[in-house]
Amino acid sequence: MLDFVHDINTKVLFGKGCIEKLPEELAPLGRRVLLAYGGGSIKRTGLYDTIMKLLSDGGFEVTELSGIEPNPRIGSVREGVKLCRERGIEAVLAVGGGSVIDCAKAVACGVFFEGDPWDMIRTSRRRMKALPLAAVLTLSATGSEFDDSGVISNLETHEKLGAILTPPAVSFCDPTYTFTVSKYQTASGSADILSHIFEGYFSRTDDSDVFDGLAETVMKTVIKYTPTALDEPENYSARANLMVCSSIGCSGIPEYGKRGTGWPCHAMEHELSAYYDITHGVGLAILTPRWMRHILKKDPTVTPRFARFARNVFGITEGSEAELAEKGIDAIDAFLRSVGLPTCLSELGIGEEHFEAMAEHANRGGRLERAYVPLTKEDVIGIFRACL
Ligand code: NZQ
Ligand code: ZN
């Protein structure tokens, strides 16, 4: 097991009705609040009214930043920074999925950044000075409620970049808020959670058993409860388990003690979203099995890890190590095909015209050369082609 640092200082309130504690938790952070939200789901569900009442009863002064898009744009960040400066905002309250929370993180940091927020996103590699941030999670997927990163898009330059920004000081995770999440977003969210786990699990370190075991439990939980959440959107157990998996999945904890992997599927998916503005989890669901098949073929030394995945996650025991490895990939492929998401890029109207440029960008800073199985530009183009 390699050395690691545990440094997560987000307070998480988990469970039905935890929002009642919002005024108490927010008061020490600030009284003049920027309320950030997306395209209107929180108004349709009534959460907006609940929060506005709590804030007004608590004597908070509220400024709104609304209309934050999925794959949040740098334009929303710029708008939020301007509002914060004009109104003397003291704290940011994000209510929504990963896109809203990520945008709110960038706004909270952008207030203290001298220069254009896009330069901050391009260059940020460590936690930044930020306004305090509270998050109310409404979609289980990204783990943004429990990490310090944010992913912001600049569609003009075809860039979607992850940046280290700031963690929420406090996150409210009420699984009942996810009852209204569509089947499409529920399935995408689960594909994203699984991918966060895969990105750490498929590593060269084999003796970090406690964290591999945690990762396997998260994978089994997502595979068990996603179909339930799709069939019964108001099943509390399913939504609650998926919500915890969201937070753990991208927290870094499942990777503790393990060698870095370059997160290759995320590097490739962010190119798809940057060029075609697709849903993050959908891109991952399409890429993941193709990436797995590609690296298993390219480098058979990964066979034992894939065999372990088959055994410990899917309970497959019959066959040689090589057969188990293939069966494990077949099993996750079948699962990802079963949840109702698009299964290839052509279904999304994506062709190969930008594959060269996307493959080059995906390897920014030589990131994919340090991947679990190092990937060349040709490898990445091959994986994209296999997704068509
Ligand atoms: O905008 P509204 O109207 O709120 O609707 C949203 C949006 O259309 C809707 N939604 C959210 N909660 C809902 C709901 N609809 C009904 N009921 C609810 N309770 O769902 C749609 C998608 O929301 P979004 O926030 O975009 O989804 P997600 O949470 O999957 O976030 C995706 C973004 O996060 C980034 C992705 O790249 C993408 O930009 N990521 C962030 C990470 C991080 N911060 O650590 C890591 C991830 O790997 C990921 O890259
Ligand atoms: Zn992700």
Tokens for 264?
Answer: 């290759």
* Contact criterion met (CB below 8 Å) for 226 and 339: yes
SS3 content of the chain, % helix, strand, coil (to 5): 55, 10, 30
pLDDT, average across residues 123-127 = 93
- Closest ligand 1 atom to residue 47 Cα is 19
pLDDT above 90 (res 317): yes
Report the pLDDT value the prediction gives residue 364, as an integer from 0 to 100: 86
- Closest ligand 1 atom to residue 281 Cα is 30
pLDDT, average across residues 12-20 = 98
Domain(s) labelled CATH 1.20.1090.10 in the chain stretch across 183-386
Question: What's the CA-to-centroid distance between 280 and ligand 1, angstroms?
Answer: 9
Task: Look over the chain and give the mean of its residue pLDDT values, rounded to a whole number.
Answer: 97
- Closest ligand 1 atom to residue 105 Cα is 44
In the block, tokens 């960008």 appear at 361
Report the pLDDT value the prediction gives residue 143, as an integer from 0 to 100: 98
Question: What's the CA-to-centroid distance between 12 and ligand 1, angstroms?
Answer: 19
Domain(s) labelled CATH 3.40.50.1970 in the chain stretch across 11-177
Percent of the residues in the chain that have a pLDDT greater than 70, as a whole number? 100
- Closest ligand 1 atom to residue 180 Cα is 17
pLDDT above 90 (res 54): yes
pLDDT digits (tens, 9 = 90+) for 152-166: 999 999 999 999 999
Question: What's the CA-to-centroid distance between 280 and ligand 2, angstroms?
Answer: 7
Instruction: Report the C-alpha gap between 303 and 309 in whole angstroms.
Output: 10
Q: 183-386 architecture in CATH?
A: Up-down Bundle (1.20)
CATH number of 11-177: 3.40.50.1970
CA torsion sign for 38, 283, 181, 19 is negative
Question: What's the CA-to-centroid distance between 1 and ligand 1, angstroms?
Answer: 33
pLDDT, average across residues 333-353 = 97
Report the pLDDT value the prediction gives residue 39, as an integer from 0 to 100: 97
pLDDT, average across residues 243-260 = 98
DSSP lists the bridge partners of residue 144 as none
Question: What's the CA-to-centroid distance between 234 and ligand 1, angstroms?
Answer: 19
* Contact criterion met (CB below 8 Å) for 160 and 152: yes
pLDDT, average across residues 352-366 = 94
Q: Which residues line ligand 1 (CB under 6 A)?
A: 38-42, 45, 70-71, 96-100, 102, 138-139, 141-144, 147, 149-151, 177-178, 180-181, 185, 189, 192, 250, 266, 280-281
Q: Which ligand is nearest to the CA of 270?
A: 1
pLDDT, average across residues 31-50 = 98
pLDDT above 90 (res 9): yes
* Contact criterion met (CB below 8 Å) for 31 and 61: yes
* Contact criterion met (CB below 8 Å) for 241 and 228: no
pLDDT above 90 (res 238): yes
Report the pLDDT value the prediction gives residue 365, as an integer from 0 to 100: 84
pLDDT above 90 (res 387): yes
Instruction: Report the C-alpha gap between 41 and 37 in whole angstroms.
Output: 9
H-helix or E-strand spanning residue 273 = helix 264-276
In Å, how far are 185, 277, 328, 346 from 296, measured between CA atoms? 30, 29, 11, 24
**Furthest CA-CA distance within the chain:** 66
Report the pLDDT value the prediction gives residue 357, as an integer from 0 to 100: 97
pLDDT, average across residues 138-167 = 97
pLDDT, average across residues 29-33 = 98
Report residue 309's pLDDT band, with 50, 70 and 90 as the boundaries: very high
Cα Rg of the chain, angstroms: 20
List strands edge to edge, sheet with 170-173: 11-14, 170-173, 133-137, 91-96, 32-37, 61-65
